[in-house]
Structure 1
Amino acid sequence: MTSELHFWQGSFIGADEAADRLAELPAVVERALAEPLSAETVLVACDTLGRALRDPDGDVHAGLLVHLTEGVPATDRAEAAATLAEIADALARPALERKLRRELGGPRPERFTRPDARETVYEAWAPVGLVVHIAPGNAATVAPLSVVEGLLAGNVNVLKTSSSDTPLAQHLLAELAAADPTGAIGRRIVALRFPSRRQDLMRLLCAPADAVAVWGGEDAVRGVAALIPPGCRLVEWGHKISFGYLTRDAARDRDSLAALATDVCRAEQQACSSPQVIYLDTGDHGDAGTGTDSGTGTDSETGTDSGTDGDAAASAVADELFAFAERFAAVLDEVSAGFPAPHPEPEADPAEQAEITTTELVARAEQHLGLTKVITADDGSWRVFADVRPTLTASPLHRTVWIKPLPRQEITATLRPMRRYLQTASVGGSRADIARLSRALVTAGVQRITPLGAMLDSYHGEPHDGVYALQRYSRRVSVQATGAEFAATPCLDDLIAPAAPPAAPTGPLMDKSAAQDQLRSLAPEHAQLYFRSGGTTGAPALSVFTCDDYDTQMRASAHGLLAAGFDPARDRAANLFYCGEMYGSFISFFSILERLNATQIPMAAGPDHEAIAEALVTYQVDTLFGMPSYLWQLFHTQRERLRSYGGIRKVFYGGEHFTTEQRRILTEEFGVLLIRSAAYGSTDLGPLGYQCAHARGTEHHVLTDLHTLEILDPQEDRPVPAGQPGRLVFTTRTRAGQRLERYQIGDLGRAVDGVCPCGSRTPRIELLGRYGDVFRMGTYHFNYRRFTRAAEEHLGYRGELQLVLTSAADREHLTVRLDERYAPDPDEARTTLLAHIPELGSAAGAEALLTCTVETADTLAFERTPTSGKLRTVIDRRASVTA
């Protein structure tokens, strides 16, 4: 082993040291597995490395380019750069998140969550342990990307590449480890470079393995299989054969032939998905499905020997086949000329050239028997061998292709014996042909069906050789929990401290205007769902999501709702959030309840309170979801009906908060047993937090699966001391659409110290209102919450409260608006507020910096946002007054 080309858990080591460390591999694996690795950590590191690879002037790109071209002529630098670009695309976070969703169900597969929220059964994907990757020598991207797959599944990974390979894989994985500030990724990677003939090292490598992924032919797979221990999972990525299949119509279409010829020329047929054979559908479709037996050898009408007819049919097939071969050869000649000459790397070596020559000589000899037809390029750059026998035959590659007949009704009989080796079939024909032939080919054992010209293409998340790699590198595990204490536990992992918190965000702060500016450059595929905010604090703002973004957020919020006390197995919920005009509350909670498999009556908030109350009784609803201001109106306009019904047991609210006095009324007069926040969130960021059974007031747990939270000083960009109030600044991590990083949501809050009595280790915050709740008037700062608290504590007030700020030429004016059903005499209310809000008493007293009045009104006269129905708590009209 060369001394400098072995990467071991974060550093490069020499040959002797690598051999010594292999003997200690079992202990190394045990120590590494004791530290859980989150998929989030891998995603962040991969995305960081991917961005570095896209910078052609960066040190990472330049260094890896040197390693990739080591021993390769400089003319191949363009191909090397293309390889790095391919790796960068594969490492991009959206691509890997899509892979996780497709293969393991979501971006955090390692977390123990409830697949059916109605049961306290938890499932997760766990690593198999140690995965050994024995990489091929003909694909530079395979080795490092296979290790990335092992990391996404949480495994410790040991990679072995050939001693003749470039050191790209080792150095690329070293850069990946360097991109992870936690060091967890580096501790799970070992990348060695030695020949497979070193059986002593191969045995040390395979002995502790829980899974071995091996690329190569049958001999290579058998050699590795002999070394692995009992129970070790062998993941074979062996050599495969691919082919094209053309109907008669497609065989006459020059564009179809050109597309297939392109597949032949790309990569010199070195990929498993390259076509080695082109099958021509030579069957008589007029007899398809008639049930006629075509193998009797006797004409059923005349009784004469049909052997002559059979010979004639065979001759016709041969003529058709050979004529097609001539047409295809002409197209291949044109297409091949448009491709550059084969690079030195895929050029046929002496053994391969001997195989090409031997195959051609045998085919030419069989021409005299009428079995074959050989057509070759004058310069030897391509070869077409037509053969009337349909048996699948491997090509010697390097732009060498077989042409064979295969009636569609004989696909299964002909190809199924070779099913272990089949991979890709490219089908040309009508839409109905493609549907029928795809089913027949899959039945025969084919794994992939592609359009002509796309055999070597792939899409993010595509299964490989008929399986999902991440599932082969994982175990599906479960925990069955009993007892009422687990009913409100959505995720077992929340009960333990996270292994490594995400790195602290950096960069400038974002506000709403910056988020709106970002929309102008957003790619269309990242803008699939459009929502507008309710406009409570200003003009409605637009937010967009991908469908995957939305699904991830709704599932996270559903987990929070379980913690809040919603029981999807028993509760009957009415969704009374507002709907329409692109507002997201109703739609979101419909989706959340759907993901919980809950019973729901999706009614939406409406002005006909009587009809809604009647439906609640008719459908035996016991749980309400909605805005506090709307639910408060509903309970009071339908007081007698709902009190008589007495069936409303739970209320989950959002967007606003119930006061202590309002909670008392709902509990004592209407029999509500549980009143809790349904979620803390916003239209632009989505769900941000949730309440548990032990949450007090406005306390919420942060949804750390989705976001990283900072609490910054109200005036400066620095963290506040522990427990002090500040601006809530969120960075959303699971978002392919809008990338909101260090986003100032407009809320104030403080961190709540200690571990929550519910057992969850996720951080908690206490919400302290919005920036708009704090206003300056008459040289003093006022907080809306001071007014509501004073009214509740000293007036026994239980209704809504609204502040209206105006100004005249000489002074400013503050109007406190109260619900006439619960308000005392306005003068009494004013006196009480002046007495218990000292700043107000000073400003409206002898100094007369402002005037203050209290007015009472019907709650329907209070100003609300038209979209969400939220109460406008502070209405500042001073800006509209001119001097």
Structure 2
Amino acid sequence: MTTSSVAQPASEAVAVCHIIKGDVVVGAESVHGPAQARFATPRIDLDQLVWTRDKPGPAFDTPVSEIIDVLEQTGQWLKADPEGLVAQALENSLKTGPLPRHIMEFSYENISAPFNRAGLEFQIRTELGGADVLDGWREIKDSPSGRQSRIRAFPPRLIHIVAGNAPGVSALTVVRGALTKGVHLLKLPSNDLFTAPAILRAMASVAPGHPLTRSFSAVYWRGGDEQVERALFRPQFFDKVVAWGGDSAIRSVSKYIGPGFELVSFDPKTSISMIGREVFDSPETLAAVADKAAFDVTLMNQQACASSRFQFVEGTTEQVDRYCALLQQRMNVDRPMASAIGPRVPAGLRDEIDGLRMLEPAYRVWGGYGGEGVVIRSHDPVDFHPDGKIVNVVQVQDLQDAIRHVNIATQTVGVYPPERKALLRDRLAGAGAQRVVNIGGSAGIEAGLPHDGFNPLQRFVRWVNDEG
């Protein structure tokens, strides 16, 4: 069975290749995207995208040590880019994605980082307790019943709805999929069509025909396309769907969830900062913390889940206003993962902010709408979602007062000074927060530590018992 979008002229559309079980597939039968970012993809043959259950996946019995060898070589290949595939992927991404060149260049320069051997071994050790449970059956010797039993983290069959807000998501997806030995179908996001294919082509170059290479496919279809998803999202083919994205994307996938077909969701998240009155101990401290907080706000031009959108600051109105002015200045600088000038503020948000400007002194606004960053000071959080280098600074008497605004959608909480984390972290966790860091430390959730409140490798695999 085949499917495609309505055929359209493919002139000036950027060509996107598909990867089918390690092989590169080219074609331009389907054209997608807005006029300024059009791309063309091969026609999809749905039958080629599944691994039937009548035989094991290609890498089910491949030793973890061999898989790590291939991943490490893949990372080295990506760094060296001997065939120019990474460079070409970068250029194509700039034509169809929202991030500016210097952020994408930095991201691609570091795309090999997740393939580091020490990091790969760390993930297996911390999330699964060792490779033995992947390579075979781990003996459980201390059962209260005294019965002998064995468990295995069995290789899964997964569909991945990959997020496109940062190229590193594709790298993490491939690494986690490889370590769990399963078969993996990656749905390419429209805002990052080229990273995953480049990684899988690198893997095919270092290990042509290897079981791991044959365990991955990566294709594009329009999210929510029932013709595709109703055919693929079935327990006869896959165990789980691993979904990143916003609320609408998660809800779209959820309708297919049922017995035998599970959802592993990296839900949409919002991150915050909590800054104690110690920040005002000296002008030097204030300047340094404002700079670190600006880094947290502008991460990937505020497109990352870990980007701070609300900051709760202890102090008088005069003190908090001084902080806000410095924060806005430091948002207006180039960084490896942020632009001094980002996208212009959309008209709807401009109207919201203009309304607040008329409510001084209860509200105060710094910055403009040209992409230089906007800071809004208030006594309660604004009732809209700050986005596109907009941050709401909320004045509080005590950081404990801010915890009532934390919920299960709160991913990362940056805290200053670090010593106050120990007093806050249990209450933050109880309210729903999943990660507590020092201010300025929002970037780079370390693979091997919990992500969005769970250990991904543990959730990806199928846990099977052999008892008695």
Q: Specify the TM-score bucket, using the shorter chain as the normaliser.
A: 0.7 to 0.9
Matched, 1:72 2:94: yes
Check the 8 A contact 1:6/1:193 in 2, yes or no: yes
2:123 is aligned to 99
1:373 maps to amino acid: R
* Change beyond 3 A, Cα 1:119–1:470: same
Could you report, residue by residue, the CA deviation over 1:510-566 in whole angstroms, capped at 9, with x for unpaired residues? xxxxxxxxxxxxxxxxxxxxxxxxxxxxxxxxxxxxxxxxxxxxxxxxxxxxxxxxx
Distance in 1 (CA, whole Å) between partners of 2:256 and 2:16 is: 27
- 8 A Cα contact 1:41 1:180, kept in partner: no
Give the 3 Å change call, closer, same or farther, for CA 85–104 of structure 1 in structure 2.
farther
The aligned residue for residue 327 of structure 1 is 322
- 1:10 touches 1:186 (CA, 8 Å); kept in 2? yes
User: What's the offset of the Cα at 1:24?
Assistant: 5.7
The corresponding residue for 1:339 is 334
Counterpart in 2 of 1:47? Answer: 72
Aligned to 1:386: 377
Which residue pairs with 1:403 in the alignment? 394
Q: 2:153 maps to which residue? A: 125
Task: Decide whether the 8 Å contact of 2:71 with 2:115 is kept in 1.
Answer: yes
Structure-1 residue corresponding to 2:292: 259
- Aligned-residue sequence identity (percent) comes to 23
Alpha-carbon distance in 1 for matches of 2:191, 2:111: 21
3-state DSSP of counterpart to 2:165: coil
Q: Is the 8 A contact 1:244 1:426 kept in 2?
A: yes
SS at match of 2:327: helix
Q: Which has the higher contact order (CA 8 A, sep 6+)?
A: 2
Alpha-carbon distance between aligned partners in 2 of 1:175 and 1:51, rounded to the nearest angstrom:
9
Alpha-carbon offset, residue 379 of structure 1: 6.3
Structure 1 residues 281 and 149 mapped into 2: Cα distance closer, same or farther (>3 Å)?
A: same
Q: Is the 8 A contact 1:38 1:108 kept in 2?
A: no
CA contact (8 A) 1:326 1:375 kept: no
Q: What residue identity is the alignment partner of 1:116? A: K
Unaligned runs of 5+ in 1: 283-319, 482-883
Q: How many angstroms apart in 2 are the aligned matches of 1:182 and 1:108?
A: 25
Tell me: CA distance 1:71–1:428, structure 2 relative to 1, closer, same or farther (3 Å): closer
- Cα deviation, residue 427, structure 1: 0.8
Q: 1:589-643 CA deviation, whole Å, 9 max, x = no partner? A: xxxxxxxxxxxxxxxxxxxxxxxxxxxxxxxxxxxxxxxxxxxxxxxxxxxxxxx
2:346 paired residue number: 353
- List gaps (5 residues or longer) in structure 2: 5-9, 30-40
Matched, 1:423 2:411: yes
One-letter amino acid of the structure 1 residue matched with residue 89 of structure 2: H
Q: 1:406 to 1:439 in 2, by over 3 A?
A: farther
Matches within 5 A, 1:5-24: 5-13=17-25, 21-23=45-47
| Residues 158 and 184, structure 2, Cα contact 8 Å, conserved in 1 | yes
Secondary structure of the residue that 2:223 maps to in structure 1? coil
Q: C-alpha displacement at 1:145, in angstroms?
A: 2.2
Q: 1:194 aligns with which of 211, 221, 233?
A: 221
- CA distance change for structure 1 residues 81 and 388 in 2, over 3 Å: closer, same or farther? closer
Structure 2 counterpart of 1:454, from 420, 437, 441: 441
> Would you say how many aligned residue pairs link Structure 1 and Structure 2?
430
Contact 1:276–1:397, Cα closer than 8 Å, also in 2: no
Find the residue that maps to 2:324 and give its secondary structure.
helix
In the alignment, the residues of structure 2 paired with residue 398 and residue 423 of structure 1 have an alpha-carbon distance, to the nearest angstrom, of 18
1:209 equivalent in alignment to 2:238: yes
Task: Give the Cα–Cα distance (whole angstroms) in 2 for the partners of residues 395 and 364 of structure 1.
Answer: 15
Alignment of 1:762-801 (within 5 A): none
SS at match of 1:453: coil
Distance (whole Å) between structure 1 residues aligned to residue 188 and residue 19 of structure 2? 12
Deviation, 1:10, is 2.0
User: Which amino acid counterpart does residue 25 of structure 2 have in structure 1?
Assistant: I
- Distance (whole Å) between structure 1 residues aligned to residue 459 and residue 389 of structure 2: 32
- Aligned counterparts of 1:103 and 1:421: Cα–Cα separation in 2: 23
C-alpha contact 2:273 2:415 (8 A) present in aligned 1: yes
1:464 paired to 2:456: no
Contact 2:196 2:218 in 1 (8 A): yes
1:712-731 matches, cutoff 5 A: none
Given the superposition, is the C-alpha separation of residues 18 and 123 from structure 1 closer, same or farther in structure 2, using an over 3 Å criterion? farther
User: Does the C-alpha gap of structure 1 residues 460 and 224 become closer, same or farther in structure 2, counting only changes over 3 Å?
Assistant: closer
Q: Which residue in the other structure is 2:206 paired with?
A: 179
> 2:255 aligned to 217, 226, 229, which one?
226
Give the 3 Å change call, closer, same or farther, for CA 150–4 of structure 1 in structure 2: same
Q: Give the Å deviation of 1:104.
A: 0.8
Residues 1:346 and 1:142: Cα distance change in structure 2 (over 3 Å)? farther
| Bigger CA radius of gyration | 1
Whichever residue aligns with residue 204 of structure 1, its letter is: A
Residue 59 of structure 1 is aligned with which of 71, 82, 93?
A: 82
Contact 2:184 2:216 in 1 (8 A): yes
Q: 1:450 is paired with a residue of what secondary structure?
A: strand
Helix, strand or coil: the match of 1:54?
A: helix
Give distance in 1, aligned partners of 2:433 and 2:381: 16
Letter in 2 for 1:371: A
Counterpart residue number, 1:142:
169
Instruction: Tell me: CA distance 1:70–1:390, structure 2 relative to 1, closer, same or farther (3 Å).
Output: closer
Distance 1:67 1:391, change over 3 A: closer
- Alignment CA distance shift 1:420-1:132 (3 Å): same
CA distance in 1, matches of 2:370, 2:342: 14
Name the amino acid aligned to 1:225. Answer: S
8 Å CA contact retained: 2:140, 2:148: no
2:67 aligned counterpart, secondary structure: helix
In 2, Cα distance between equivalents of 1:469 and 1:342: 25
Q: Aligned residue for 2:195?
A: 168
Structure 1 residue 366 corresponds to structure 2 residue 353: no
Task: Tell me the TM-score normalized by structure 2.
Answer: 0.82
Q: CA deviation at 1:49?
A: 1.0
- Aligned pairs (5 A) from 1:393-542: 394-405=385-396, 407-412=398-403, 414-416=404-406, 419-429=407-417, 431=419, 433-481=420-468
Preserved CA contact (<8 Å) 1:264 1:401: no
How far off its partner does 1:477 sit? 2.1
Q: How has the CA–CA distance of structure 1 residues 345 and 203 changed in structure 2, closer, same or farther, with 3 Å as cutoff?
A: farther
Residue in 1 that maps onto 2:37? none
Structure 1's 374 and 105: CA in aligned 2 closer, same or farther, altered over 3 A? same
Cα distance in 2, alignment partners of residues 346 and 474 from structure 1: 42
Deviation readout 1:790-819 (Å, 9 max, x if unpaired): xxxxxxxxxxxxxxxxxxxxxxxxxxxxxx
1:234 is displaced (CA, Å) by 0.6
Matched residue type, 2:17: L
Quick check: 2:331–2:340 contact (8 Å CA) kept in 1? no
Q: Secondary structure at the match of 1:396?
A: coil
Provide the rounded CA distance (Å) in 1 between the counterparts of 2:414 and 2:181.
Answer: 35
| Counterparts of 2:56 and 2:179, CA distance in 1 | 15
Amino acid at match of 2:57: L
* CA displacement at 1:251 relative to structure 2: 4.6
SS of alignment partner, residue 87 of structure 1? coil
Structure 2 counterpart of 1:82, from 95, 98, 106: 106
Task: Specify the alignment match of 1:113 in structure 2.
Answer: 138
